[in-house]
Structure 1
């Protein structure tokens, strides 16, 4: 059983930000298991529900969402790594359409692969303290 170190979890968070900023959905998906689950309120309009199951469904969702947001950019605020839980929480600012919002993504790993993700969408970044 592969256990990711703190450095590996941190490196994943940094690569994840970079992959999204290049709009490289295959690179984002590379860390996921085929049966991974992803939860996001934004998935409702693209996937028909807030829970997306499986890598193929994730691919369809994210490609459609990026097509609607060609200027999407993420800026990392912090990555909180819990080695024992094999979880990293990526805290970032998402920019698109002239708007900025603080967000968090919870990522859980088993055997070195991501099995679960959950996006938590915040208020506009201008309304929060830095």
Structure 2
């Protein structure tokens, strides 16, 4: 993956999330995906989500809690099979999504969160 590929992926990722269409979002994730989030434990009882069905359940519950969810990509980095998407969420909080891909699909990822704006 090069930076142009990563930027195209990030633009699609942003548009998918902002559509709130989980089928569209999940189209970029492998069936055996592993995703880690500090917020998952409060939503589904574990901070590590394994498999696309479990990821769908987590994000379905998450979107229900955040109906105004909106992401604005602020930067993209790439390293071999990994893309880092820097963005601000609907609360203005900076986040970095680190996603490792295999055959064009996310197989492993996590979000790293900055401070909530005051």
**What range describes the TM-score normalised by the shorter chain of this pair?**
over 0.9
**1:39 aligned to which of 21, 31, 36:** 36
Structure of larger gyration radius:
1
2:80 is aligned with 1:88: no
Deviations 1:31-89 (A, max 9, x none): 1110100000010012211100000000010011001111111111101112x2x1110
In the alignment, structure 2 segments of 5+ residues that lack a partner are none
2:117 is aligned with 1:120: no
1:9 alignment counterpart: 6
2:66 alignment counterpart: 69
Structure with the higher fraction of residues in strand conformation = 1
Once residues 32 and 73 of structure 1 are traced to their aligned partners in structure 2, the CA distance between those partners, rounded to angstroms, is: 19
Once residues 111 and 16 of structure 1 are traced to their aligned partners in structure 2, the CA distance between those partners, rounded to angstroms, is: 16
In the alignment, structure 1 segments of 5+ residues that lack a partner are none
* Offset, 1:125: 3.9
- Normalization by structure 2: what TM-score? 0.93
Runs of 4+ in 1 over 4 A off after TM superposition: none
Once residues 113 and 20 of structure 1 are traced to their aligned partners in structure 2, the CA distance between those partners, rounded to angstroms, is: 16
Name the Cα RMSD after superposition: 1.2
1:56 alignment counterpart: 53
Once residues 22 and 38 of structure 1 are traced to their aligned partners in structure 2, the CA distance between those partners, rounded to angstroms, is: 21
Aligned length: 118
